[in-house]
Amino acid sequence: MKIVKSKILIDKGGFSSLPSWQRIRSDVLQAIASIQWPPGSGAFVLYDELGKRRGEGNGVKPIKDACMLYLREQGWLLEYDLGLPGIGKVDAVYLVDGKQFALEWETGNISSSHRSLNKMALAMLKGTLIGGVLILPSRIMYRYLTDRIGNFEEITPYFPLWEALGTFVNIGILWVIAIEQDAVSKSVPRIEKGRDGRALM
């Protein structure tokens, strides 16, 4: 799997110069790179079918689960409750000097993408998070996944809103990553919705 776009929306307080950020960044990039389909192929090739109708296209959750399994092996905590009213859980966190860096992997629609960025930005404003990253498909990739999943291009017009919030943040990073398949092919199996994420590593 490859990264096709990467956007830092907030970078405040010198966190990006610390070794802990370098560790976080490396874990996130390696988690994405570790996802393969078919298993053991060394690449990420989606079944060539658009996901417009029920039962068509490729499942999303198993791709996320593969990322989460990798992060857990690196010491990240999964399904972590930030303890802030109305914000709830994030997919994963890495602990940094009494604070958390959050990771959200998009499996819902564009409204879910907004919620993910909003909850991380709000937690940064409150001083709970030292930062967060949202990983979501490119518009090219999302066509082969469950219909109407959020994608990078669809959320891009709202980036100035989160960038403006950086004025009120003392320290931390808010990061958005667009991922994409290496190729599509009719010769690979479809990623089923119920498949174990470990099969994609």
- Show Cβ contacts of residue 111 under 8 Å, excluding neighbours closer than 6 positions: 150
The catalytically annotated residue of 49, 73, 106, 154 is 106
Written as six digits, the tokens of 134 are 């949202």
> Burial code of 157-191, b = ≥16 C-beta within 10 A, e = fewer?
eeeeebeebbeebebbbbbbbbbbbeebeeebebb
| Residue 154 annotated among the catalytic residues of the structure | no
How far is 86 from 201, CA to CA, in rounded Å? 34
Which of helix, strand or coil describes residue 58? strand
Residue 157 CA, distance from chain mean position: 18
Active site (catalytic) residues:
106
